[in-house]
Amino acid sequence: MKTAIVTGATSGIGLEMTHVLIKKGYKVYGMGRRFRQMPKEENFEAVICDFRDVNALYGAAENIKKRESIDLLVNCAGVGFFGRHEEIDGGNLSDMIDVNLKSPILLSNFFMKDLKKNKGQIINVSSVTAKKISTYGCAYGATKAGLSSFFESLFEEVRKYGVRVTTIHPDITKTSFYDNANFEQGDTPDTYLNPQEISNVLDFILAQREGAVVTDLTMQPQKHRIRKK
């Protein structure tokens, strides 16, 4: 049985990806701060972890590594704060850097020997904002651009060892991510994505033959529309 780690497995895209991987026969360690919806499948284990705390992150990763050799790392945890840059709290800026950028870099570093040994894979959930100017989301967009850039370069470094790296760039998705923002997705299904739709691409990504890699995948709704709350 292959083993996967999914960060941000508590809700939204991460939770849906967890369900997909379990159905595909993976043992999944889901990492997150608070599990409101605990997957009931037998091959799931919740790992409580605050991604802003480096010591806690390394402690959780070490506990997993003592028990399992990792085949798949899914970096899905994310946090966003939006508005004029000077109006965003400094602590919130730091949280975005820690959760969106620093923790995936640290986890990939920690588990890279396993991934090389197993010819494993890293899948990252970035954002379409990584590829464009993001006014009122400058810092958030920067963390996602950094995430995408890092893993694009990392693939060039580790591809000769058989490690595959894929980064998904979804547009606005109907999840709790925007609960604290002053805007949300449009009110019709053609103006947003569902987390299930993003998790469904795992079948496509993981089904590629050895020697073929999906490195970059972008998903968008048909129409671009957001609305103020």
Residue 74, pLDDT score: 98
CATH code for the domain of 25: 3.40.50.720
- Quick one: pLDDT at residue 225? 85
Give pLDDT, residue 179: 74
Give the DSSP H/E element, type plus range, for residue 228.
Answer: strand 226-228
Quote the domain boundaries for residue 39.
3-228
Is the sign of the CA dihedral 107, 37, 82, 170 positive or negative? positive
Give residue 175's pLDDT: 87
> How far is Cα 190 from Cα 220, in angstroms, rounded to an integer?
9
Q: Please tell me the predicted confidence (pLDDT) of residue 182.
A: 75
pTM, two decimals, is 0.94
**124, 33, 30, 133: which is closest to 75 by C-alpha?**
124
> Torsion over CA of 10, 13, 15 and 19, rounded to 10 degrees?
-170
What per-residue confidence (pLDDT) applies to 122? 98
Per-residue confidence (pLDDT) for residue 186, from 0 to 100: 84
In this prediction, residue 39 carries a pLDDT of 66
How many CA atoms lie within 13 Å of 45's alpha carbon, on the beta-carbon side? Answer: 12
Supply φ then ψ for residue 225, to 5 degrees: -160, 130
Domain count, the chain: 1
* Mean pLDDT, the chain cut into blocks of 10 residues (229 residues total): 96 94 96 79 91 96 96 97 95 97 98 98 97 93 98 98 98 84 83 94 95 97 86
Instruction: Report the pLDDT value the prediction gives residue 208, as an integer from 0 to 100.
Output: 96
